[in-house]
Structure 1
């Protein structure tokens, strides 16, 4: 049997205009987002960004006049939201090449094969390519919910385009399991 529609105009469903929803509004679910609609995920990420709370104060990397840190971890319906901050205190702009999320061994001894698992963010909010001089950039990443086995840590790295200023910080399982539930976060439309 042939499908009713071969293509779907996403702009009709994910309308960004304020106060006027499209007439054919429907909930679309992507397998990667589990039970969440892309609209709700975007709304959650937007609310986290607007509230700008710093719930995690001990996880960051600082060098080369740059600081890359974790402000908060939130959990909702099988997704983890990582609120990160990049502060540039130099007079040079910082061009972001990419950000990696890897599960790696906590302690690696010499002559040991390194095992790492790369995690792909499902969504990113305010994911800009440049941090201007003397400024701060905050980004929220949504990842599928996970926990870390014994002896493993989450390593989050920020890589500079055509440069050597790579910043890396680690997150332990004890920090992951303390993720704040988004249920008590007031959504702002």
Structure 2
């Protein structure tokens, strides 16, 4: 295995004195300190290769499990992938909760350490080393959300950003930051689109575009004395002219992400939501209808967005992402 030195200027240690095969290039002292003096280069690889340095590692969390009790791990986003190291573990989503993973031992005891890996919808990757314990110290664990800059002083601790197919080439973390920034700045760029009746007003405040995605900033105001319980918010492209007694042709657009999606707007208050959708345009004979429906109520609100509104979307590069 041809293994180049990891960093110029670092001290190196003689391979003959550290149980490293003689045909391996000098190993950085840092890596020997990490892997202890008995470190070897293991099996040899074909072609030009280099050992993965410790600075590329995502240190796993320690996790204890047992047979008689279930460990629950709460993640900040919906779980999309779970991998168990071996048959010693059993795991599954908690009933009715897409971001809670329950884990326990499949046997009354096991000696060999194993691992667990999880990917969540926001593009985060989590890894755990798992051991059996008669009485695990922690049975309910919350994995907090965080950002890292990739520098040595702020390395990934338990998550590494994963690019998701639904978001195309866009970074999930950047999408999240953009949506938070739009919501925080709260600019009303559009003043002619909205609906109002029964003491409820539904507005489109702005449309932004970036890297194949469109961001719709909406606001729902409830000036009545009765809370507005949201059943659903829909985005659909429909025909402008619908002949009577014919079915309306609809194309449903599913939002990829939603920032501050609420299920109820209390009386005398308002709530704002930012939706991210795949980029699209509308044919001349069609229009976009955005609708919010009240659960078990009749105060539904909807408004129409024309293609000229879509193509005039603000470029996100002009937005100060904070």
After TM superposition, the score normalised by the length of structure 2 is: 0.54
Q: State the Cα deviation string for residues 149-176 of structure 1 (Å, max 9, x = none).
A: 1210000000011111110100000000
Q: Is the 8 A contact 1:15 1:22 kept in 2?
A: no
Q: Does 1:66 align with 2:176?
A: no
Q: State the Cα deviation string for residues 131-154 of structure 1 (Å, max 9, x = none).
A: 011111000000000000121000
User: Match for residue 31 of structure 1?
Assistant: 165
CA spacing shift, 1:115–1:21, aligned 2, 3 Å: farther
User: For 2:282 and 2:147, how far apart are their aligned partners in 1?
Assistant: 40
User: Match for residue 49 of structure 1?
Assistant: 183
User: Match for residue 16 of structure 1?
Assistant: 145
Determine which of 205, 212, 220 is the counterpart of 1:86: 220
Please give the secondary structure, in 1, of the residue aligned with 2:296.
coil
Structure 2 regions of 5+ residues with no counterpart?
1-81, 84-116, 127-142, 149-153
Q: Is the 8 A contact 1:55 1:72 kept in 2?
A: yes
* Runs of 4+ off more than 3 Å: 9-15, 17-22
User: Match for residue 107 of structure 1?
Assistant: 241
User: For 2:304 and 2:282, how far apart are their aligned partners in 1?
Assistant: 12
Deviation at 1:185, TM superposition (A): 0.7
User: For 2:241 and 2:147, how far apart are their aligned partners in 1?
Assistant: 49
Highest RCO, 1 vs 2 (Cα 8 Å, sep ≥ 6): 1
Please give the secondary structure, in 2, of the residue aligned with 1:42.
helix
Please give the secondary structure, in 2, of the residue aligned with 1:8.
strand
Deviation at 1:109, TM superposition (A): 2.6
After TM superposition, the score normalised by the length of structure 1 is: 0.90
User: For 1:130 and 1:42, how far apart are their aligned partners in 2?
Assistant: 22
Question: How many pairs align?
Answer: 184
Please give the secondary structure, in 2, of the residue aligned with 1:48.
helix
Q: Is the 8 A contact 1:71 1:84 kept in 2?
A: yes
Q: Is the 8 A contact 2:125 2:160 kept in 1?
A: no
Q: Which moved more, 1:109-118 or 1:91-100?
A: 109-118
Determine which of 78, 101, 120 is the counterpart of 2:254: 120
Deviation at 1:107, TM superposition (A): 1.7
